[in-house]
Chains A and B, each alone.
Chain A
């Protein structure tokens, strides 16, 4: 037999206390072993779901198609790249405005990349470059906007499977601008976003496997630098110069070594 309160336990679990009277339910839970077991069970299933379910973002090509159809609908003369040009005056978050005037051009370039680029041979490089380019699309770069490492790092706890090194290196020219979770290599990778001059650098991090990381390489104009600290694999991706990318890598590596040493 099922306890008659089972439905109300679900509602209580979903934070719908005002619908059902949370106080009564809590008193009931103290007495009813069946319902407290149900509540625990609901918690376990939710935890498993959060780990298991995919949280997709809309593919950028589809987003572009939708923007074009909105253009046509609102009577904007539509040429193939017209919506790209309008990016220069579409409302957007401060970080995009903060970038140099080449923003529109960068986005145009990234679309050209999607249209023209052949599939890269190593799937990991493929995924990383694709994720980097995707992040340059409007509204895709940052989930948590902050220049404060103490805001960005805890944010990852609920949104990614790993907790990477985060620090603001503004004095060294690498300004922390935020973080993002990205699905990569079958896990929710943490991505820390830095700005260096007019360039953006995405630093991906994920739980390292036994496989060796690829060598640093350049794909379609984007440099990819790989390194490991402890059991975390990192990859910095950017169109900035190699030396500058490696500069950030050194800063982050030193940070990791320092932290491991101090604990």
Chain B
């Protein structure tokens, strides 16, 4: 029975699960409105972004507040590729992954010696600075940004196939593929090595693990995921601009990861749903508080911040951990 947990059997089961999930999304996609399809695409985007945080922080223990910056790198890479080279969509996303992975490798090498608050501070500076770089260089489009046009859905899908549905399909497909790959990596010895480093870096080194190298690898792979998420974000907006990757995005991602359980991958979908739901909830609440536009603008940010504080205080490992503890206590009696 134990052998089912490792080896090809588990991978095959996971593959089947993801294929079934893909089917379900296909069917759902046919039945919902454009608004929901757009939200679905957003959820897919957040799923990929949260996965990058789970890998980096949950597994290898490196705290990064700069996911937004890496997403920007990926987004701009994809937009520039499509706009300037007119390549097919998949190539643009591939470029996003490669460029942001490279960026992550360099960043990881620089950050490998930092830890805790120092790493957090460095990545925070990136989150603020990198999107603003676009204003300095003309080819990056400045404040206006660059259009990210993946084109219309293929004609064989018919004229009723909306742009939103097309984005939903592409986003969901990329989310499924990247989560599948990530979950395999995390279940492998790479994942266990990272967890060892996170638990006790020195002990891991003594056990023969090259901590620095593995940390850089974690940064690279996590950045690849974040870059892909950034490209998906750009596609959904048909635009990459500094305003699409604000500081609040990095904070929202960290909050989502903590809420959903930072050290386990399955929670990323739940975290993504929560992140997309927050502005909707804020709208409802703001509607009840009177129609002030200022409230509607700032309420989502407030909710995210409050949730982050609450979850860090009460459920630092995610609500799953607390639930498990309660159930365990119950069963022990």
Same complex:
no
B interface residues with partner A (beta carbon < 8 Å): none
